[in-house]
Every structure is written in structure tokens, then in C-alpha cells.
Amino acid sequence: MNSTTNNPTHDAHDHLRHATAAHVDRIHEDIDRVLVPSAAIASRVRALGAMIGEDYAHADGRLTVVPVMTGSLLFAADLVRALPQRRMRIQLTTVSSYGGKSTTSGGSSVVGALPKHLEGHHVLIVDDILDSGGTIRLLRAEFEACGAASVRACVLLRKRIPSAMATPCEYVGFEIGDEFVVGYGLDFDDLYRNLPYVGSLRKEAQVR
């Protein structure tokens, strides 16, 4: 018999490993359709990184990337690693949108303090999805008021709806239809952010 079999620590770890595997399986089962596969995300992020890197070639030491938490966590983490900049900064911000769990309505507000020391910096807002446009419009106005040298926005997804299409946004990963999506950072009730792709949630899973 293996000498670790009766070790309670190992038993707990084994239990956790199996529980995690079961959870991951369940997560995939809640997905109706994959809209953007992980390989497509990876190659688009590389292309965006190259494009943005070139556009900000003049901004070495004066580029500040501002990921909007929590939805852009995964996208921003991958995007900054695709940037060739020698010196850049990352400052997080959180924006709350009012409205239901799977929709957003008009009002957006910044939670907590705004990023500091943006004066003279080229600010790149990074968000998960452009929907009503409230988040990007709000942050752009705030950062311009802070004296940023320039403010641009980059989103992984943009919904093909009038409010999103009418919101200025310099870099867009993918356009999708008007539906609620999860994965690669995007959540439903704080779940599904860890999916490696973007997909739509089954109706049955859209309950608390």
C-alpha cells in the first residue's frame, strides 16, 4: 500500500482535485454555444498587441493600461503580454453598471479612487465588452479630465447594437450579436469567468 494513502493531507488534496475536475465539466455543460473559441482569442490578442504596440511606439514610459475590473482580467493579462513596450504601467479601475444581472442599463459609476498620475500619460482603457457604451464613455471623460496625453479604448467584444457601435472605441477584438455571453473573464453572477472561450449560457443556467 502506498505510504501516503493514510495521510489526511493527501486525502484532502485528492478530494479537491476531483471536485475541481467535476466543476470544470459542469461549467462546460452550462454553455449553449461557443461564440469565440480560445484559439481565435489567442491569435486576435496577438494581433491587437502588435497593432497597439506599434501605435504606442512613441509612448515608451508614458503608456498606462487601465483594465476595467473584473471582466477584463483575463483579456488584459494576455494583452499586456502581447505588447512589446519596454516600460508601461498597469492601473486597475472598477466600474459598476446598474441594471439586471444579464443586462446593463444607462448609469455607470467608478467604484473607489480613479487611477493616479495619469497626467501626460497615454491611457489605454481595456474592457471586456462594449454594450451600452456607458463604461467607456465615462472613463474616457474622467481620464481626459485628469490631463492624460491621450485616451483610447480597447475591448475584446463589441455588440452589434446601436449604442455600442456609436461609442468611439479604437481597438475591437470581435463583434458579436446582441446576446448575453460569458467566459474569458465575462461572468454571470460572478461565475464562468474561468472559461477559456466566450460562449452563450443555456437558459436553464441563468438562474441564481
Residues that bind ligand 5GP (CB under 6 A): 71, 97, 104, 108, 127-135, 180-182, 186-187
Shortest Å distance, C-beta 103 to ligand 5GP: 8
Provide the 10 A C-beta neighbour count for residue 30: 17
Distance CA 97, CA 99 (A): 7
Nearer to ligand 5GP by Cβ, of 62 and 73: the residue is 73
Please list the active-site residues.
131
Shortest Å distance, C-beta 143 to Mg ion: 16
182 makes contact, choosing from Mg ion, ligand 5GP, none, with CB < 5 to 8 Å by partner type, with ligand 5GP
Nearer to ligand 5GP by Cβ, of 1 and 207: the residue is 207
8 Å CB contact between 155 and 135? no
Listed residue (168, 136, 148, 122) closest to 72, CA to CA? 136
Shortest Å distance, C-beta 201 to ligand 5GP: 9
Distance CA 153, CA 173 (A): 11
